[in-house]
Amino acid sequence: MGFEIYRERSAGAESMQGIRPAANVQFVTGDACKLVGGDLAKCTALDKVFFLFSVLETPAALLRPTTPNLSDATAPMVALAEPVGGRDLIAKTQLIGTYAPLINGVACNANATTTQVLITFAGASGDYTGGSIYCPELNQHRNIVSDTQGGGVKTLVLDFPFMLGKNAVALTTGYTVIAVPFQAGSQGIRLLDAQGLDTSVVGKAGGTIRIESVDLSGAAPFALVSFPQLQ
C-alpha cells in the first residue's frame, strides 16, 4: 500500500535521491520517511514527510539480504527515495484495510430531509465536520458541513443534496454511505503509520498532511495528498 507518486504539478523529471538508511529498519515501498541524524527513517503519526521510500540498494561488498528492503544492522547501505516536501508533487494513498474509513457501508436511517444524512454511529458532535461522504447507490460524493450526535444517531449536514436524476433525494433506508473526517483542502491530517493516513477522528488534526482530493468510490478508495510541511 503506502504512498505512490500520482503526478507533479509542474514539468520535470522525478529526482530520486540516494540516502543512507538508518540501521536495521524494515522499509516498505511507499513508506513516508524523514531524516534522523542524516539517515532515512520511517515517519510516525505527527512527523513531517520529506521522502517516499522506493527501494534499498545492496552494495557490492554485501550479500543480498534475505529480507528485501531490510537495512543492514552494521554496514551502510543506500536507499532510493523521492523528495516530496512542499506542494509541487501529489501522492496517492489507498483508504483500504487498516486505513479504511470507519463509516464504511453504514446503512442510512429513515430520513426525509435532502440536506442531511442520519446513521447509527457512536461519536461526538463535530467529529465529521469538514469531512467527505459518498453514497454507493447513487455514485456521488458530497462534503459534510456539520454534524451532531444524539441518542446514538449521527446527523450529517451536507453542502448539497444527493441527486436522483434532476431531483434532490433524501438518503433514507435502503441507502448506505462511506465517510471520512477530511475533504479536499483539509490540512494537518495525521499519518496512522508510514504506509497511510489515520482515517479516524483523531487523525483529522495535529499532523502535517494536506488533502488534495478524496475518492471513496469503488473497491479501492483513495486520497490524493501533498506534504507542505506545515508549521
Tell me the per-residue pLDDT of 67-124, one tens digit each, with 9 for 90 and over: 889 998 877 789 999 988 776 789 999 999 999 999 999 999 999 999 999 999 999 9
Its pTM surpasses 0.85: yes
pLDDT at 59 over 80: no
**Confidence class of residue 63 from pLDDT cuts 50, 70 and 90?**
low
Buried b (16+ CB within 10 A) or exposed e, 126-145: ebbebbbbbbeeeebbbbbe
Distance CA 144, CA 166 (A): 21
Q: What is the C-alpha to C-alpha distance for residues 193 and 44, in angstroms, rounded to an integer?
A: 5
Q: Which residue has the cell 483523531?
A: 202
Tell me the pLDDT band of 57, cut-offs 50, 70 and 90: confident
User: Three-class SS of residue 204?
Assistant: helix
